[in-house]
């Protein structure tokens, strides 16, 4: 009998502080209309000074565990995707494990920038399908506001903070149908964030933050996401019309619209959270999926395509039957 990976719980956390486009317009030379027209973003959430990647991950994870109706101690693997860990080590996954009171599990972080949650789901799927793990918690948790230069209008308008979680278990029916992950290290200069240690040693302020050539990233993202859609459909012998929901990484409405068009989907079939969350990096796909599940748009038996693209470049997709 086949062993499949099934979603049994989702969760999400957004910090209470809201930073609007008008707030940013008082910090740098920009405007609400420019930001909204170019990106689709109106506001984003900002973590408070006491919050960390693991504290936000815990809230999202507990929601997923509650929905699943299992005990936290039933989880045997914890995968956290983050580019903003509070410690280089221990990993955020280990810190989360302690917060959740799970003694017998393996926890580790992955670094795939904005593709982190899709990478995490792909890794979890391999471990569940092979029988190595039964219940896997995947979390994306990001405090992007701490690695954004709030005097750089080309990047500070885009990012926000948040955490998303998903709980997966082994089942006899699909489940995750396929996952596809890729990277190409040849694009380092278009989008990067140095290790803070490097900035401290060099005493160069700009080395502490995200650096991006947005226009060039945009073009590669649109083309690459178009290819991953083709790859995912072909691998499953599916047509565009077989997909009920697109749950994309939330970087820019125009990038998302291009992917939806490639799938022949209307924007009504896309879970969009960008407007009031901005780009929450590895948290964004899980936050969007959680929203779609909890507000009842994504129904049992429906086919969902998740996709993401991020620094590296990294990119990937997950096709699942909910
Ligand atoms: C960042 C982004 C919104 C910029 O939009 P764009 O249409 O590409 O704009 P450009 O970078 O070409 O800049 C156009 C002009 O707007 C200006 N500009 C840039 N940011 C601005 C802002 N916040 N407000 C007002 N003007 C701005 C630029 O200086 C430039 O001015 P110029 O023509 O006088 O030189 C867009 O490129 C984008 O979203 N890229 C993808 C980013 C992404 O997805 N990153 C994460 C991947 S995970």
Identify whether residues 139 and 233 lie together within a single domain.
no
Mean pLDDT of all residues in 24-33: 98
Q: Are residues 126 and 183 in the same domain?
A: no
- Cβ of 153 closer than 6 Å to ligand 1, yes or no, is yes
pLDDT at position 170, please? 98
> How far apart are alpha carbons 285 and 139 in whole angstroms?
10
pLDDT at 315: 98
Does the structure show a pLDDT above 90 at 195? no
pLDDT averaged over every residue in the chain: 96
Residue closest by Cα to atom 20 of ligand 1: 154
Q: Are residues 193 and 132 in the same domain?
A: no
pLDDT of residue 204 exceeding 90, the answer is no
- Residue-number span of the structural domain to which 238 is assigned: 177-321
In this structure, are 185 and 233 located in the same domain? Answer: yes
Higher-pLDDT residue of 3, 206: 3
CB of 182 closer than 6 A to ligand 1?
no
Percentage of the residues of the chain whose pLDDT score is greater than 90: 94
Is residue 39 located within the same domain as residue 133? Answer: yes
Indicate whether 117 and 195 sit together in one domain.
Answer: no
Beta carbon of 117 within 6 Å of any ligand 1 atom? no
Give the CA radius of gyration of the chain: 18
Q: Catalytic: 279?
A: yes
Do 196 and 145 share a domain, yes or no?
no
Last residue of a domain, one of 173, 203, 222: 173
Looking at residue 1, its pLDDT comes to: 72
Mean pLDDT of 234-256: 97
Q: Is 218 in the pocket of ligand 1 (CB under 6 A)?
A: yes
Atom 16 of ligand 1 has which residue's CA nearest to it? 154
Same domain membership, residue 159 and residue 48: yes
Residues 283/164, Cβ–Cβ less than 8 Å: yes
Same domain membership, residue 192 and residue 130: no
Ligand 1 centroid from CA 214, angstroms: 6
Of the residues 173, 199, 222, which one is the last residue of a structural domain? Answer: 173
Q: Which residues contact 51 (CB under 8 A, 6 or more apart)?
A: 15, 143, 161
| Residue in 218, 255, 282 to alter for ligand 1 test, most ligand atoms within 8 A of Cβ | 218
219-235 average pLDDT score: 96
Nearest to 150 by CA among 274, 275, 39, 44: 44
CATH number at residue 225: 3.40.47.10
Residue 150, both tokens = 């709030």
Position 199 pLDDT exceeds 90? no
Overall average pLDDT of the 98-114 stretch = 97
Residues 161, 16 share a domain: yes
Q: Are 172 and 4 in contact (CB under 8 A)?
A: yes
Closest ligand 1 atom to 24 CA: 23
- Residue 112: is its pLDDT beyond 90? yes
Pocket lining: 225 vs ligand 1, CB cutoff 6 Å: no
Domain-terminating residue out of 117, 145, 173: 173
What is the total count of domains within the chain? Answer: 2
Same domain, 225 and 99: no
Write out the E strands in 144-288: 161-171, 176-183, 191-192, 211-212, 245-248
Examine the domain organization and report whether 185 and 228 are in the same domain.
Answer: yes
Calculate how far, in angstroms, residue 215's C-alpha sits from the geometric centre of ligand 1: 6
């Amino acid at each position: 009998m086949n062993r499949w990976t099934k979603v049994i719980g989702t969760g999400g956390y957004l910090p209470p502080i809201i930073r609007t486009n008008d707030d940013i317009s008082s910090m740098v030379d920009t405007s609400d209309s420019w930001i909204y027209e170019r990106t689709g973003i109106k506001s984003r959430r900002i973590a408070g000074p006491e919050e960390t990647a693991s504290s936000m991950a815990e809230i999202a994870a507990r929601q997923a565990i509650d929905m699943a109706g299992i005990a936290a101690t039933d989880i045997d693997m914890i995968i956290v995707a983050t580019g903003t860990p509070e410690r280089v080590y221990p990993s955020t996954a280990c810190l989360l494990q302690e917060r959740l009171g799970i003694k017998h599990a393996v926890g580790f972080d992955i670094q795939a920038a904005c593709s982190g949650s899709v990478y995490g789901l792909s890794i979890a799927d391999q471990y569940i399908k092979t029988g190595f793990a039964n219940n896997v918690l995947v979390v994306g948790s990001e405090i992007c506001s701490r690695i954004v230069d709030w005097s750089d209008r080309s990047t500070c308008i885009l990012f926000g903070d948040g955490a998303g979680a998903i709980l997966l278990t082994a089942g006899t029916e699909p489940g995750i149908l396929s996952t596809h992950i890729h990277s190409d290290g040849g694009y380092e200069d278009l989008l990067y964030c140095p290790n803070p240690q490097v900035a401290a040693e060099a005493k160069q302020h700009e080395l502490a933050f995200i650096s991006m050539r947005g226009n060039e990233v945009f073009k590669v993202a649109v083309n690459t996401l178009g290819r991953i859609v083709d790859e995912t459909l072909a691998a499953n012998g599916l047509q565009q019309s077989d997909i009920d929901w697109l749950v994309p990484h939330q970087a820019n409405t125009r990038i998302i619209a291009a992917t939806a068009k490639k799938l022949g989907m209307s924007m009504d079939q896309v879970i969009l959270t960008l407007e009031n969350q901005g780009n929450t990096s590895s948290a964004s796909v899980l936050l969007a999926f959680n929203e779609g599940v909890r507000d009842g748009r994504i129904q049992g038996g429906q086919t969902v395509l998740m996709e993401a693209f991020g620094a590296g470049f990294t990119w990937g997709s997950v096709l699942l039957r909910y």
